Amino acid sequence: MQLIRQIRNMNIIQSAATHRSSSVAARKLFYPSADRNKEPILSVLREYIRSGSNQNFLEISSGSGQHIAHFAPYFPQVTFYPSEVDTDLLGSIAAHTKEFSNVQVPVLVDVTTNCDCWGDKTFLENSLDYIYNCNMIHISPLACSIGLFKNAGKLLKQNGILFTYGPYKIDGIISPESNVRFDESLKARNPEWGLKDIRDLEKLANENGLHLIEIFDMPANNKTIIWKRE
Ligand SMILES: C[S@@+](CC[C@H](N)C(=O)[O-])C[C@H]1O[C@@H](n2cnc3c(N)ncnc32)[C@H](O)[C@@H]1O
């Protein structure tokens, strides 16, 4: 079953707490887009993250760390694992998240590599409840999407969920026009970047034991896609 749902644009609540410590604040990076989309994404996570204890959530490409810092207080039953391939960002992620007891220290993860070596073998096969990836698929080569689905297929438990967020092509068509221009600008920066087609991602998912169960329309012509491990 595939459902398409609308997430209304919500009021953005800026967290004063994230700006309060001067020494830490100096190391925190703030992405405006992460501030804009964190609340709509949280509303999707609330629909899929269960109430049971001892659950875990790995974020691939945590960027500044703003997202996990926003989500973690709402899900005390979940242990969050931020990760990044860019070592320059690990300090910002740690600065944003260190006050939360349910967030682990960020680990270096290149999603194109085999998960066996991530975080000093922190992640075992069939051990994760949730994997989350925001705004990486279109700003990276196809190899990153391949790695994401391949590793999600290994790491997620049966019925585990992969959340992906960003703009997508559907059946070869990009819309609206602003996303067409965005795709062109990404390809101008790197010919291997650009919006990926949901149908191609679906094939990739299916090859790795995942299937698409729901698509949420998000603000600013983005989507959150829910992929479930069989
Ligand atoms: C546009 S940023 C998104 C950051 C964050 N998720 C957000 O939404 O604010 C894209 C991220 O993808 C990461 N990335 C690129 N290649 C990657 C790879 N091979 N493995 C893991 N992350 C990668 C980059 O380091 C960057 O932080």
Question: Does any domain span residue 14?
Answer: no
Question: Does any domain span residue 204?
Answer: yes
The region, left, alpha or beta by phi > 0 then psi within -120 to 50, assigned to residue 172 is left
What integer pLDDT is reported at residue 6 of this predicted model?
52
- Domain encompassing residue 148: 3-8+27-229
- Determine the average pLDDT of the residues in 70-81: 98
Question: Does any domain span residue 48?
Answer: yes
Q: How far is the CA of 82 from the centre of ligand 1 (A)?
A: 11
Instruction: Answer whether 0.95 is exceeded by the pTM.
Output: no
User: Does residue 9 register a pLDDT over 70?
Assistant: no
What integer pLDDT is reported at residue 1 of this predicted model?
39
Dihedral sign for Cα 145, 35, 30, 104, please.
Answer: negative
Question: Does any domain span residue 21?
Answer: no
Comparing C-alpha atoms, which of 163, 128, 212, 209 is closest to residue 46?
163
What integer pLDDT is reported at residue 10 of this predicted model?
33
Give 196-205 pLDDT, tens digit per residue.
999 999 999 9
Question: Does any domain span residue 20?
Answer: no
Question: Does any domain span residue 19?
Answer: no
Q: Specify the number of domains making up the chain.
A: 1
Ligand 1 pocket by Cβ (under 6 Å): 31, 34, 60-64, 84-86, 89, 109-112, 134-136, 139-140, 144
Euclidean distance between CA atoms 216 and 3, whole angstroms:
8
Euclidean distance between CA atoms 118 and 59, whole angstroms:
12
- Determine the average pLDDT of the residues in 107-127: 94
93: tokens are: 């992620």
Q: How far is the CA of 115 from the centre of ligand 1 (A)?
A: 16
Question: Does any domain span residue 15?
Answer: no
Residue nearest to atom 13 of ligand 1 (CA): 61
CATH of the domain at 199: 3.40.50.150
Question: Does any domain span residue 153?
Answer: yes
* Paired residues of 225 in beta bridges: 164, 215
Asked whether the beta carbons of 192 and 142 are under 8 A apart, the reply is yes
Which among 18, 67, 85, 190 is the best mutation to test ligand 1's pocket, defined by most ligand atoms within 8 Å of the CB? Answer: 85
Euclidean distance between CA atoms 27 and 202, whole angstroms:
38
Computed over every residue of the chain, the mean pLDDT equals 91
26: tokens are: 């100096």
* Residue where the block lists tokens 């080569």: 141
Give 136-173 pLDDT, tens digit per residue.
999 999 999 999 999 999 999 999 999 999 999 999 99
Which phi and psi (to 5°) does residue 28 adopt?
Answer: -80, 130
Residue nearest to atom 22 of ligand 1 (CA): 61
Which among 31, 38, 61 is the best mutation to test ligand 1's pocket, defined by most ligand atoms within 8 Å of the CB? Answer: 61
126: tokens are: 């069939």
- Determine the average pLDDT of the residues in 78-100: 97
What integer pLDDT is reported at residue 188 of this predicted model?
98
